[in-house]
Structures are given as structure tokens and as C-alpha cells.
Structure 1
Amino acid sequence: MRDSYSVKFSGFKLVNSKIFKRNYSDLCQSLKLHPYYVTGFCDGESSFIISIRPNSKIKTGWSVELIFEICLHKKDLELLKLIQQALGGVGNISKHSDKSIQLKVGSVKDLELIVNHFDKYPLITQKCADYFLFKQALELVKNKKHLTLEGIQNLINIKASVNLGLSDKLKVAFPNTVPVSRPLINEEIKDSNWLSGFISAEGCFLIVINPSKSNKIGSVVSLWFQITQHSRDEKLLKSFISYLGCGRYTPHSNRNAGNFIVQKFSDLDEKIIPFLKKYSILGIKALDFSDFCEVGELIKNKAHLTTTGLEQILTIKKRMNNNRIN
């Protein structure tokens, strides 16, 4: 336990998903997430939604709903419960699809608790701009402005600058919309727990095996740690290089995205893995990290240069990432 918060898996051997599920479920009974971990995770996985829909039963003809939402794979139910608890226990967790679940917070009273959290432990990706605009919308709703046509237009002006903006139907219905100015976010990492939360949401642990004529067993094994984000967060991704003391930034094949990548084994072994053992990631991704570390140990012991070791690494690779969640 550190500073009254516990986010470690010490003492657990994450051998397979069944053992992980049992151990993790028990562990979650005593876990308390660091608030910056929660913010980091939300920087990766949460959404601030302003929903405006036609409603003939309302005087203005439009209904307004403000929603804070986190949607995860159903295997991360325990993690979602922990996040809900850290945010004051507000909202409801429900099925989103056959493979996903969602935490949805929609009442004004509950959303005020969400706002209190992010005001104290700020978001630092460009999602923070959506949050600031969402706060403006919440103030309008709290003051009953959404019950007037002028207030609806003000909300439309805000919504036009949030997430994907307005639907075609709303653009037609509100032709005089003037999108509000979207805040520019230039925040820095204030706490390492933010980064562990963000990696829990957005990090990717990869085992890369390529053919090699110069290698006796015909294959070369390498480990990659990667975080991919929209290019609007390029500056933040580049800041990880100095914060972690390793890695590089590269544009993604998708022109609107970029990658923070660490491939050098010594950097992974001496910087990334120790960092994530100190500031643990949580959820189903902890299994990928455990497998990543296991392969790291095999590489350190030169097992990847043998046929038996390569077969063992291939077995581990086959159970990771999307192969684990199906």
C-alpha cells in the first residue's frame, strides 16, 4: 500500500485467466485506486456526451441529456467497479453489448461529483477540452436554461465543439449555430499514477516475431511497448520520452494518430517494466503485462535463441491481447 492507495499485484502469479479472475476478484475487495490513476484511465476510456434529441412532449421540442460514460470489455467488470467506487459510487454499470459493459452517470447531482473529481485531479489529454465544455453545458442545465429555446441553442453551440460535433439533423435544425471556442490543453503529467492509469486504458504490450536468415532458429524475437493516440495529443506523447527516459514518437499509418514506442530491450527491462511494477496497471491488461514480463525473462536468459524457447514464446504470444478477449 502506498499513500493509503493500493494498486499492486504483489504475490500473485498470473498464470491464466481463471487464476487471475479469482485472485483479482479477491484483491479488488481491498483495493482503493489512486485518484490520479482514475483520471489517467478516464483520459483514455471515458466520454463526455451532450445528447440533444427531438421530443414533442417538451415545450421547446428538444430533450437534453448530459452523460459521463466509460465503456469496457465485460471481463473488466471488477476494474469498472473500482473506478465507480473511486468516483463516489455514482452512476450505474450495465450491459452495453454482448462483450461490453458501461458505467453511465447522468443525473445532475451525480455529475457534480464527477466534476469535483476532475477539477481536483485534472485530465491532461485533449479530452480535457471536452470536459471543460461539458462543464459549461452542465451549468446551463443546472440553471434550467435547457428549458428555453435560447438555452437549447447555447447547448447546441457547445455540442458543436465537443467530440464529433453535430449530426446532420442538428445542423439542419439549428442553422444559426456558432460553435464555441474549444480550449487548448497544454498540461503535463503531475503524478505517475496518472500514467499507470492511462497505460491501463491505452497501452499495448506486443511480442513481435519476425523471420531472420541470420538467426540459427530462423526467427528473431523482440518486445514492443506502445501507446497510440490522436495526433492532437502528439505533444503529450512526446513528453513520455523525457518522463520515462526512453522511447520515441512516430506518426501512425493513420495520419490522424501517433505512437509512443519503446523497442530497445534494455529500456523495457530497466525502465518500463520496473515502472509498471511500481505503479501497477489493472484489469485484463495486467495479464498481457504479466506475459510480456515472462517473455522478457526468457529473452534475458537467452531462451529466445533456442527452438524450445521460441515455441514457449509463441504459446505466450497466442494468448495475448485480442486473442485473450474474444
Structure 2
Amino acid sequence: MPFICIKNFSILTTENTKKNDDEYIKMFWVGLMDGDGSIQVNHWQYKSLQFRLVIKLSNIITNYNMLIKIAKTIGGTVIITGKSKDVIWYVNNRDTIKTIIKIFDCYPLLTSKKICQLEFLKKCLLENSVENYLINRNSKYINQSSIINSNPLSSFVNLPYYFNGWVSGFIEAEGCFSIRKNTYHSFSIGQNDDFYLINSIKNFFDIANTVRNPYGHFYCLQVYKKEKLKFIINHFNNYPLLGEKSKSLQKWIKELNN
């Protein structure tokens, strides 16, 4: 069954309803892919191409349940690694991958690295040539700088309509709810290379803090002000986290309220 874009997606009445809404899960999954996913192309003994979509997380029951929910919604398989350290969602069937990546037509990826990975996968699917793959595999990120400079979010007058769900998935992957003994609890999020993305999250939550560049190409945002932290919490009331980060959020909220 083909995926259908629903661009008039609206806030549903309860958190539990949203957790079981297929469109919300797709938006959330795109954010999770942007943060923790991988879009892979490899070769098998130089004879044929292999394609794979992967999300690897710590093997915690809440992460397992989240990946099972994703698999039931969009497809894929969930396994636990041999040493039980990680839980992995993956798809390696070519036809299934062709179907699943249509979700990105509805809800585009927003990180420069994943955009490059997706474009390379599409190119390899189209050409289906091991020779071309070997020639081009080391240049899959050749357009990353131009993507960063052009800012994928600049094509939207406002943030994209799916950003609420996307940012919850991205925070599930990259967000951090910090609890400190001095009670200066905080929320932080960071990303390599993509200043434009962290800055958009800052604007989305109406945060005054400056996006910092503490080292290299890493950009991060950290928030302590309780008024803004409550605003962030309210977002998750409408667009819930689905994995282990939801447990972290609940512990963090409890400390904030003490």
C-alpha cells in the first residue's frame, strides 16, 4: 500500500491517541532517522548492491517497544544483538526500501548528512551499478557543504508542517534532559555541521540563548530558564516522545517540580 501525504495533520486530542497515530509515527521516525538512523549502500562481493535503512539504539525495553511500533507502522524488522547490548530496526529488502523512502517525499529529512545519504541511495537504486557505486561512494557527501549553506529549511515560509512530530523524533535521538544537584536543571540538544537546524529548534521553542559552537563543527543549544523548560514540556504533552527519552523526561519533570 503506498504512503499518502497528509498535509493537514492536526493535533489530536490525547497523548495516547497521538502515540498510535500512523502519520505522527512517520513524522517522528523521520526525526529519529535524522538523529540516530543510517541510510546505507554496500556491495556483495562486487557482484550486486545491498541497501539498508538502520536505527540502532541501546537495548532498553522502551526503545524496543518504540522500534516495534515503528516496524508495525512503516515496515522493517527489529532485532536484539547477540550480546543484548543494542536493539536494531532495519530494512534491507530493496522493494520495501523503495516504498519506505517515499515517506521522505511527504516528510523530508532535515540534516545535511542524511539528505546526502538518501540521495546517494536513490542514485544507486536507479543505476543499480556496482561499478558506478564504487566510483561514487567516496563522494556521497560532496554536496553537504552546499546543503548547509543553502539551508534546507529556508524553502519554507515557516517551519515545515511536520516539524512538531519531526522535532520530537530528533530530540528522542539527540536531546538531553540534565538533572543537577544545584537544581540548575537543563535541556540541551546538539548536532554536527548543521547550525541552521539547531538554530531552527531554538526559534521553534522561542529560546533566547545563543547556539554555541564549543568545538569543531558541533553546534549545541542549552536551556535553563524554567519558563522555557515548561514550554518544551508542553510540546511533549502534544507530541510525545516514544522511547527511553520519555522516561528520562518524566524523571526530569519530577525534579523540576521539586
Q: Decide whether the 8 Å contact of 1:71 with 1:103 is kept in 2.
A: yes
Judge conservation of contact 1:6–1:33 (CA < 8 Å) in 2: no
Structure 1, unpaired ranges of 5+? 11-26, 56-60, 147-151, 164-179, 210-219, 299-326
Residues 1:256 and 1:67: Cα distance change in structure 2 (over 3 Å): same
Partner residue, 1:154:
132
Q: 1 CA distance for matches of 2:199 and 2:213?
A: 11
Following the alignment from structure 2 to structure 1, what is the Cα–Cα distance between the partners of residues 42 and 59?
Answer: 25
Q: Does 1:261 align with 2:222?
A: yes
> What is the distance in 1 between the residues matched to 2:13 and 2:90?
25
**Deviation for aligned residue 1:85:** 2.4
Task: Give aligned-pair identity as a percent.
Answer: 23
Q: What is the CA–CA distance in structure 2 between the aligned matches of 1:67 and 1:259, rounded to whole Å?
A: 29
Q: Secondary structure at the match of 1:124?
A: coil
Given the alignment, which residue of 114, 130, 137 partners 2:100? 114
TM-score, normalisation: structure 2: 0.81
Counterpart residue number, 1:184 = 147
Report how far residue 225 of structure 1 moved.
Answer: 0.4
Structure ID, larger Rg: 1
Secondary structure at the aligned position of 2:257 is classed as helix
Gap change, CA 1:289 and 1:7, over 3 Å in 2:
farther
User: Which structure 2 residues correspond to residues 143-292 of structure 1 after superposition, within 5 A?
Assistant: 146=129, 152-162=130-140, 181-182=143-144, 184=147, 186-188=151-153, 189-190=159-160, 191=162, 192-209=164-181, 220-230=182-192, 232-246=193-207, 247-252=209-214, 254-269=215-230, 271-292=231-252
Residue of structure 2 equivalent to 1:37: 28
Does the C-alpha gap of structure 1 residues 121 and 81 become closer, same or farther in structure 2, counting only changes over 3 Å? Answer: same
Which residue identity lines up with residue 64 of structure 1 in the other structure? L
Does the 8 A contact of 1:250 with 1:259 survive in 2? yes
For residues 188 and 28 of structure 2, what CA distance do their matches in structure 1 show? Answer: 19
Are positions 1:86 and 2:43 aligned together?
no
Q: Contact between 2:27 and 2:169, CA under 8 Å: does it hold in 1?
A: yes
Query: How far 1:267 moved relative to its partner?
Result: 1.5
**Unmatched segments (≥5 aa) in structure 2:** 1-8, 154-158
Relative to the length of structure 1, the TM-score reads 0.65
What's the C-alpha RMSD, in Å, of the aligned pairs?
2.5
Q: Counterpart of 2:152 in structure 1: which amino acid?
A: E
Give 3-state SS (helix, strand or coil) of 1:184's partner.
Answer: helix
In 1, the alpha carbon distance for the partners of 2:244 and 2:21 equals 16
- Partner in structure 2 of residue 310 of structure 1: none
What do the CA deviations read for 1:169-220 (whole angstroms, capped 9, x no partner)? xxxxxxxxxxx655625222412111111111111100122xxxxxxxxxx3
For the 8 Å contact 2:178–2:187, the answer to whether it is kept is yes
Q: Is the 8 A contact 1:115 1:135 kept in 2?
A: no
Q: Is the 8 A contact 1:6 1:31 kept in 2?
A: no
Paired residue type of 2:248: D
How many pairs does the alignment contain? Answer: 234
Contact 1:36 1:197 in 2 (8 A): yes
Secondary structure of 2:78's partner? Answer: strand
Aligned to 2:64: 77
The alpha-carbon deviation at position 7 of structure 1 amounts to 7.7
Preserved contact between residue 48 and residue 131 of structure 1 (Cα < 8 Å): yes
Q: Tell me if structure 1 keeps the 8 A contact 2:50–2:92.
A: yes
Amino acid at match of 2:55: I
